Chains A and B, each alone.
Chain A
């Protein structure tokens, strides 16, 4: 029995369903990422769990039903996409706000705030005003403020997506470290699978208001429920029918109706079982990215940087099975 359980949760706006019958389970101390394209209802789901949207269905914490509890009594802190820091309060007073609400003695507040700012890497920023901070710093303050509430459950709404790419990656690693160190149970909503992998233990994939797949992140990764999910999880292509069969045969596996392949599943190797003609080459800092026309159709492949390949060359390819996933029949619906 997990700590958080969401059962058959639905949210409607003017009779238009935004979330339909969502179920979620999460054990204490773990981080769940809800992954889905924008507009799929994942933020609404998170807000409903926080108690900010009127919803049908049940939300329970350690078996106790909190569905009819107002947001401020649930003990679930929500960190917003854009931080939502109180603009008139200094960083330290923002972080200390949940403590002051709980009538924590002043000395203790100061100590806790300093500790939290240290944790998020902003020691010495206490007297600054939010408007003087960069986007990444604001999100760190928002995280520290949410943690200061000592929430039973931390809800993160696209915590990193407003930031630029390099910063996002660094902050994702920090976020993972901070959540693990604090032993926080958390649900994070994101549309970026890299972010989900960097931070979460469990994954729930959401599409058009429904949760289509959920489980430990490695399981979901290895066995996407359908082609769309596979593509959303970062697989480059989904092969079906004869193309899938040919690739599987080359790898020495029994045929399956569909196969998702990552870009790096095919590597140029002189002893590879597949062969084809290079149609496009692009150089990236780490490797060559090729498009190769094979018997299984156009496929993406990679090669080491010291390999020479040009459009028109014929190359042999090796299949790395750990970078593919066999899908259930696409027509099962």
Chain B
């Protein structure tokens, strides 16, 4: 009976987040998927299967699998040495280097797409390499984003890795290489597997980067969904792909959860002194420099190009941001879009924080029975789903299910923030969960037996531990929302655009001024998210990036 009561209490606390997830995630995705399965008023599952046999769909699936695999391997190959260097070795400029290398994760895809175009496009300094519009450019873009994920996830684990087993192996005669192979890498395996899974997930659902760098010649599952829904109005095809994606993502999330189950590096941390730089670190230094070039190259060319006007230096492109662009490219000045973006990001941030805090609390409370433990694990997985569901599916689903009675939210100013909050939710939850898990439940109990009510105990035990991670999560959510493009592009109204949408429009319109404005706006957007991310870095929250 006691157990039933506890399960009921769990259900009650989970009700609000579940309701939000149900209405703003379950309903749109189900609506979108259902639209594809039901043709002319009856269920047509066969038609959906036929879609998967179409050559262009099979090409998109294969393209997604191989580019994501290659990008995952490369992200690890570049990220692991950098993680080692940044977290185990002491050298001047380490903090700055780390900041530069981990910032790309939150940069808006649109910005990165523009930056890569500048570098390898027809007029770019690397045009001679012939990378423009090739799969290599897309993979490079994916690595640009995701090497930072590997650095975050594995670096955190590596930093607190107990050095004594390695020392024991060395004392038994193992060479540094053997120590790495036999002791260090096996100990880091959970973190590496977890990082690789998440990177693959991000690559496979990448939207903006494939759209801007791949154009129409190469299309992944995600861009194919966009193409099918937006241009061809082939909902059946889009639904089939969405379901496929959902299945793959679920499997990957389960695999990631399994990899995570080993003790979390953020909990029992060992303080390890960083070693001085040695000759043996040279390969790691070389790899890190390659990564640095990959990150700095495109961004530097973006900043430089935004400051070049008609062959000389100037701020004309930035001044033009006060206008709606040439040839009626936009309905409102770009500065309006900036204000609008900031306002939406603030709303999305508090929404995802409230939801994320509720979810993280529910998921981490100690279970007293197996049934309860299962229920909490299930909820944990459920709220991670937005991480992998196509933002396009979500955005379009919003449009078709929430745009008419009984839920007519189409003109509601809350629609975009809610969609963006859901996209940011898994990140917020992942930042908060390890911290809450790390709080010894007995500390709360100590407060209780001293006479503190549960609310007072929260104040003295949880709050001091969680405020910094909460700030970090807020920064994450804010940056994420500022750069969100996939879902927003469906929901945005032309007279109230967001900055990424404006940049995409400006690129699509002819005219030097429009292009220059796109560059300037990209710099503004990129600088803002980078700034937010640098503040998050300063908070030194160990769990940031534990997925």
Contacts and interface: CB of A to CB of B under 8 A. Distances in A.
Contact of A76 (B449, B453, B456): B449
Nearest to A83: B446
Contact of B452 (A52, A74, A101): A101
Contact of A86 (B6, B369, B443, B445): B443
Contact of A146 (B443, B450, B457, B461): B450
Interface string B1-15: 010001000000000
Interface magnitude class on chain B: 20 to 34
B460 A72 contact: no
A182 B311 CA distance: 86
Interface in A39-73: 47, 50-52, 54, 70-73
B370 to A, nearest CB: 6
Contacts of A80: 442, 445-446
A54 B451 contact: no
Nearest to A71: B448
Given A86-B447, A149-B449, 8 more contacts: A14-B369, A70-B448, A72-B457, A80-B442, A84-B443, A86-B460, A97-B452, A149-B451
Interface string A74-97: 111110100010111100000001
Interface of B: 2, 6, 368-370, 440, 442-443, 445-454, 456-457, 460-461, 464
B452 A72 contact: yes
Contacts of A101: 450-452, 456
Interface of A: 13-14, 47, 50-52, 54, 70-78, 80, 84, 86-89, 97-98, 101-102, 145-146, 148-149, 151, 155
Contacts of B461: 86
Contacts of A72: 447-454, 456-457
Contact of A77 (B442, B443, B449, B453): B449
A163 to B, nearest CB: 18
A97 B450 contact: yes
B443 A50 contact: no
A52 B450 contact: no
Given A77-B450, A98-B450, A71 B445 contact: yes
B443 to A, nearest CB: 5
Contacts of A88: 464
A146 B2 CA distance: 29
B449 A50 contact: yes
B450 A84 contact: no
Contacts of A70: 448, 454
A76 B92 CA distance: 54
A97 B449 contact: no
B368 A54 contact: yes
Contact of B2 (A54, A75, A86): A54
Contacts of B442: 80, 84
Nearest to B367: A14
14 contacts: A13-B368, A14-B370, A52-B448, A54-B368, A70-B448, A72-B450, A74-B449, A78-B449, A86-B461, A98-B450, A98-B452, A148-B450, A149-B450, A155-B449
